[in-house]
Amino acid sequence: MKDDTKLTHAGRHPHENHGAVNTPVYHASTILFPTLADFDSRDRKYVYGRKGTPTTSTLEEAVSALEQAHGTVLAPSGLAAVTTTLMSFVQAGGHVLLTDSTYFPTRKFASGLLARLGIEAEYYDPLIGNGIEALIRPNTNLIWMESPGSLTFEMQDVPAIVAAAKKHGVPTAIDNTWSGGYFFKPLTLGVDVSVQAATKYIVGHSDAMLGTIACNQAAYPKVLDTFLQQGNCAGPDDVYLGTRGLRTMAVRMNRQHENGIKMAEWLRDRPEVIRVMHPALPEDPGHEIWKRDFTGASGLFGFVVDCTDRAALGAMLDGLALFGMGASWGGYESLILPSDPSKMRSATKWEAGGTTLRMHVGLEDTADLIDDLTAGFDRLNSARR
Ligand SMILES: *Cc1c(COP(=O)(O)O)cnc(C)c1O
């Protein structure tokens, strides 16, 4: 089956739920056993709310279909999905390789809590490709990727990194939030685990926190075991919202692909813009990798404006009517956010000049978004004159 069909049908079991199209929200802690024999047999699918219900199974099955995974584990946030995955592979005295473009809270966990447990986090150039092999040590527990990076948008050569990892028996995991699992299939390229902040494109409406951990056959029991030991389960209403969002994800993402490229092309031609970081643009350094490995682009990309004057930047951003300023992305609405990636890396330098901004393009008509930004650039230019 094609993805659009999977997203519509996977994980649905209407006739196990009185014909309801959507699996209802099972609110359960206690799950009752009808008899002692049933309790003793231990072969029931659902035994306790924390370990899963039909509501969670529905989303797990749908994400597994989307990511072509053996099994999926859900987490109460994207970051919880990241940390559960890292905890599934590390050992005291171990070593983890993470891309220097890693989502900052992932980096804080690796250099914070993991360090406290005696695990060394080492960061590598996102463009390292098969050069990663030189960094692999006998105690390397995991290689962590994120492609593209969610502030700086470098594309990683995932197959090259996976090949080096496999040669040394090192497992690999990737933060696949940007593609929604819709435009990129890391597990088909040999990555062991694909993590998503489902908060972003799967939920898709900026109203629930959720994480997904899609695993191949070797990784699934490890991740499931860590998840069960930690008890970090997602709430049923949020899981329901995740499933509900997932059903319409294909139409949203295809539109956001188009809208994002339109906005990136428009920004590229603005005199105030030094650089646009969007892998679907032919001049982007990651374009060839994107074309080879991805089938589309989400609505999130970066650009650099030739202005470091905060007051002038404020004049531009504060007056925008259609772009909200705030963390997260993947919803139906547009966002814009300044960042300073130079403070978030150690293996490489970010020297883009100006101010780095991140844009999330929603489902609005791009003509209106362009009008809003045109007025914003006018305010920026008058404020700095
Ligand atoms: C937002 C985000 C996360 C964390 O997700 P939360 O649901 O906010 O915890 C992880 N990785 C990336 C790339 C993200 O953008």
pLDDT of residue 15: 97
User: Does any ligand 1 atom lie closer than 6 A to the CB of residue 147?
Assistant: no
User: Is the minimum distance from the CB of 201 to ligand 1 under 6 angstroms?
Assistant: no
pLDDT, tens digit only, all 385 positions of the chain? 999 999 999 999 999 999 999 999 999 999 999 999 999 998 899 999 999 999 999 999 999 999 999 999 999 999 999 999 999 999 999 999 999 999 999 999 999 999 999 999 999 999 999 999 999 999 999 999 999 999 999 999 999 999 999 999 999 999 999 999 999 999 999 999 999 999 999 999 999 999 999 999 999 999 999 999 999 999 999 999 999 999 999 999 999 999 999 999 999 999 999 999 999 999 999 999 999 999 999 999 999 999 999 999 999 999 999 999 999 999 999 999 999 999 999 999 998 899 999 999 999 999 999 999 999 999 999 999 7
Q: Where are the alpha helices (DSSP H) in the chain?
A: 3-9, 36-41, 54-67, 78-89, 104-111, 113-116, 158-167, 220-230, 236-247, 249-268, 287-293, 310-318, 366-383
**What pLDDT score was predicted for residue 345?**
93
Q: Is 232 in the pocket of ligand 1 (CB under 6 A)?
A: no
Using alpha carbons, select from 166, 161, 200, 169 the residue that is nearest to residue 183.
200
DSSP 361: -
Token pair in block for residue 267? 């920004």
The end-to-end CA distance of the chain, in Å, is: 57
| CA 199 to ligand 1 centroid distance, Å | 7
**211-215 and 273-277: which strand pairing?**
unpaired
The CATH number of domain 250-383, selected from 3.40.50.740, 3.90.1150.10, 3.40.1390.10, 3.40.50.150:
3.90.1150.10
What is the distance between the alpha carbons of residues 330 and 328, in angstroms, rounded to a whole number? Answer: 7
Both tokens assigned to 118: 């005696």
Q: Is the dihedral of CA 31, 36, 42, 43 positive or negative?
A: negative
Helix axes 249-268, 236-247, angle to 10 degrees: 70
Atom 6 (ligand 1) nearest CA: 78
Which of 154, 199, 207, 232 for a ligand 1 pocket mutation test, highest count of atoms within 8 Å of Cβ? 199
Instruction: Confirm or reject: Cβ of 81 under 6 Å from ligand 1.
Output: no
What pLDDT, on the 0 to 100 scale, is given for residue 11?
98
By DSSP bridging, strand 120-124 and strand 140-146 are unpaired
Of ligand 1's atoms, which has the minimum distance to the CA of residue 146? 13
| Domain spans of the chain, in order of start | 3-247, 250-383
* CA 76 to ligand 1 center in whole angstroms: 11
Smallest Cα–Cα separation from 121: which of 149, 154, 144? 144
- CATH code of 3-247, in short, is 3.40.640.10
Are the beta carbons of 184 and 176 closer than 8 angstroms? yes
Q: Which sequence positions are flagged as catalytic?
A: 50, 103, 175, 200
What pLDDT is attached to residue 43? 85
**Collapsing DSSP states into helix, strand and coil, what is residue 79?**
helix
Q: Quote the CA–CA distance of 270 and 273 in Å, as a whole number.
A: 6
